[in-house]
């Protein structure tokens, strides 16, 4: 199997803003907007701002739940 499961220890916990945007199909500016409104949880490591993958999944689930 080539897919990464939730239990796989090699699955990333944090991803760069650009990757978060690609996962959601949005751009960097939109990701930073979601970070600013606290819709995505991040960590700063050195000078890099990284997004928690679980936060990305939670945002997608909230978006799914709000669809009519």
The domain total for the chain is 1
Is 29 within a domain? yes
Which parts of 4-52 are beta strand (E)?
14-16, 42-45, 48-52
Is 1 within a domain? no
Q: Two tokens at 28?
A: 């960097």
Is 32 within a domain? yes
pLDDT per position in the chain (68 positions), as tens?
Answer: 445 555 667 899 999 999 999 999 999 999 999 999 999 999 999 999 999 999 999 999 999 999 75
Residue 26, domain extent:
14-66
**Phi/psi at 18 (5° precision):** -60, -40
Is 26 within a domain? yes
């Amino acid at each position: 199997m080539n897919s990464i499961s939730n239990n796989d220890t090699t699955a990333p916990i944090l991803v760069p803003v650009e990757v978060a945007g690609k996962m959601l199909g949005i751009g960097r500016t939109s990701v930073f907007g979601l970070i600013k409104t606290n819709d995505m949880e991040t960590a700063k490591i050195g000078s890099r701002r990284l997004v928690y993958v679980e936060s990305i999944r939670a945002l997608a689930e909230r978006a799914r739940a709000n669809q009519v």
